[in-house]
Amino acid sequence: MTVLDAWLITLKDLRLLWRDQRTLAILILLPLIFITILGTTTGQLFALRERAKKVKVGVVNLDPGEMSQKILSEVELLEALEMEEFPDPTSARKKMEQGEFDVTVVIGPQYSARVGELRLGDLKATKGRLKDGLLGLDVVVESSPYFANAKEVLEKLVYGFAYQTFVLEILDNERPTWLLDIKRAAVKIDKEADEAAAHVDSAVSELTQIAKQSPEIRSPVDSSNFVYQIIVPSYTVMFVFFIIILMARSMIEERDLGTLSRLRMSPVTQSATIIGKTVPFLIVSVVQTLLLFLAGKLFFNMSWGVQPWALLPVILCTSLAAVGLGLLVATTARTDAQVSAYGNFLVLTMAGISGCLMPRQWQPEIMQKVGLITPHAWSLVAYDQLLTKQYPQLDTVAQSCLMLLAFAALFFALGWWRFKSLQ
């Protein structure tokens, strides 16, 4: 009779939930609104087809010679950098302090002269004119405190470009014949490279013919909509756990109306009562997730990954953890106000820690580890594998599902134990 009793209670609660269609609609529409707004405003941070954010560089060139222009010409070719020239270091530093660009390169007036003084031995000598790197060439790289790493990278780049430009000058000044030998060797290398390229073209042609006869293999992720591969699962997980507030309020309302007391006086077992009270919300949670993923597919061209079937166990395990937490909150809170306080605190805090509000990849490593104390994080780990990877690690997905089931079991056990106090 326990199964039949639980089924009857489930049907009764499903009918009650269906009557409150506005609340059910909010469970779908609210996350969709969040996903749409965030996808629109942050899409450029993710979408690979958009131009990546460039590092802005202020340049002060005080050198009258042509060697400094050679460096700037090389730097200018880098698409990752955006250059802006200034007449003097002071004006550049003022702009940098205001955050208008990130790094400043100052080429001093002695640069060309110092390059002209270089000898072949300086390239290898540990105590030669190049022992101080750019400083020895009268070049300084500065940055704001927020871009110290960018400064270090740019120093290496500028030094590399400078080295590339002045090595030939040194060889030209000291041994013209060496330069001729190098040019001859370069011509020989180019010829050999052309021959190798011809072989490569032939191999590519053969591979192309083979590929045409094979099934087309494409990446599951549309790079232009990558933002939704992150945002849809993140906010779906967060709003799935909002079910705990709805669930707790429903149980407290039935307690206040005396429905739970009447069930206790009936021959219905506690197991049937708890199962009958939780299954409707489990169904609502699963349907909510499926609808949000369907909306992501239809409205945002979101991909379901290379193995869409693997999403189903993750969806189910996440919903079980959410419903288990809902049972625990329902048996802990005494009033509707406490439900709101406990529920909102848990939902928002766990969402923030786990990476629902910010992609886990953007969090510090320690926060990524701390986030694993929440079921949300394990759900996000599984979704990340399935939705953003061409070769998802199913063992990681399975581990995440097991952890979600462990959370669900813990929450259900505590809620089961406290259920008698719900009077």
Q: How many CB atoms lie within 10 A of CB 224?
A: 14
- B/e letters for 34-70, b = 16+ CB within 10 Å, e = fewer, are bbeebbeeebeebbeeeeeeebbbbbbbebeeebbeb
At the top level of CATH, the class of 55-174 is alpha beta
Cα separation, 3 vs 159, whole angstroms: 76
355 Ramachandran zone, left/alpha/beta (phi>0; psi -120 to 50): left
Cα separation, 51 vs 26, whole angstroms: 36
Angle at which helices 375-388 and 311-332 cross, to 10°: 160
Cα separation, 100 vs 18, whole angstroms: 55
Full pLDDT tens readout for the chain, 423 residues: 455 555 555 655 566 555 665 665 565 666 666 566 655 555 544 444 444 456 778 888 888 877 888 778 877 777 777 888 888 888 888 888 777 777 888 888 888 888 777 776 666 666 677 777 778 788 888 876 656 666 777 777 777 777 777 776 666 665 555 556 666 666 766 676 676 666 656 655 654 554 455 444 444 555 556 777 888 888 889 888 888 888 877 777 776 666 665 666 666 666 777 777 788 888 888 988 888 888 888 887 888 888 889 999 999 999 999 999 988 888 887 777 787 787 788 888 888 888 888 778 778 888 888 989 999 999 999 999 898 887 888 999 999 999 999 999 999 899 888 776 555
Residue with the two structure tokens 């609502």: 284
Cα separation, 213 vs 194, whole angstroms: 29
Angle at which helices 226-240 and 21-46 cross, to 10°: 150
Q: How many CB atoms lie within 10 A of CB 3?
A: 11
The pLDDT score that the predictor gives to residue 214 is: 45
> Strand, coil or helix: what is 86?
strand
Distance between first and last Cα of the chain: 24
